[in-house]
Amino acid sequence: MGQVKIRMAKEDDCAKFLRIYAPYVTETAITFEYDVPTQAEFLNRIRSIAAQYPYLAAEKDGKIIGYAYAHRFAERAAYGWGAELSVYLQMGEERRGTGSALYRCLIELLKLQGVKTVYGCVTYPNENSERLHEAMGFRRVGIMEKSGFKLGQWRDVVWFEKPIGDKQAAPEAIRNITESPFSKVEEILAAQGK
């Protein structure tokens, strides 16, 4: 078993990410999406998110085994210092520390950008994701009952929250991830591999 390396995602990763994501769409209620996106649609999502926030790939033995990204928490201006996190692992790679490593890296990069709070939205029940959030210091802040219908039944959603920055004074504008110091980004990526 090789070491996991975390790096910034590239457009070339799109097809591999989509292969990881597709079973979550077709076989689980973890994502509320019904149809697997096309590769072109998925690539547009990656481009859109990576223009502002971190989008990461996890590799082991040269093979992508997971990915994670952050995106703006909500549209209105006052929410601008919050980010929602998402992580997807190749089926069978759960509970091996890769999800935690990806989350740690995302959180450190978001701190660098000036994000103050991170959120997780989890279909309930989802033991792996619930454990991940709890282990990473998130707290449950609410449940939306029967908020989505997938695979023949209504599903609850649990929201998790974790403060990651100081909220004592008015915040500075969020720094775009592409404007963050390259050396600091590389240092964070290197430190989070396991």
Token reading at 182: 């390259």
Range of the domain at 13: 4-192
State residue 191's pLDDT score: 85
Q: What is the mean pLDDT of the chain?
A: 93
Predicted confidence band at 193 (pLDDT cuts at 50, 70, 90)?
low
List the single range of 127-131, 142-146, 150-154, 182-186 with lowest mean pLDDT.
Answer: 182-186
What CATH number does the domain containing 173 carry? 3.40.630.30
Annotate 63-130 with DSSP letters as a single string: EEEEEEEEEES-SSGGGTTEEEEEEEE-TT-TTSSHHHHHHHHHHHHHHHHT--EEEEEEEES-HHHH
Q: How big, in percent rounded to 5, are the helix, strand and coil portions of the chain?
A: 35, 30, 30
**Residue 9's closest CA among 53, 42, 43, 57?**
57
Is the pLDDT at 129 greater than 90, yes or no? yes
Say what the pTM is.
0.93
Place of tokens 């915040």: 171
* Residue labelled with tokens 């926030």: 53
pLDDT at 32 over 70: yes
- Report the Cα 84 to chain-centroid distance in Å: 7
CB atoms within 10 A of CB 6: 24
Count of the separate structural domains present in the chain? 1
Decide if pLDDT at 86 tops 70: yes
Does residue 93 carry a pLDDT above 80? no
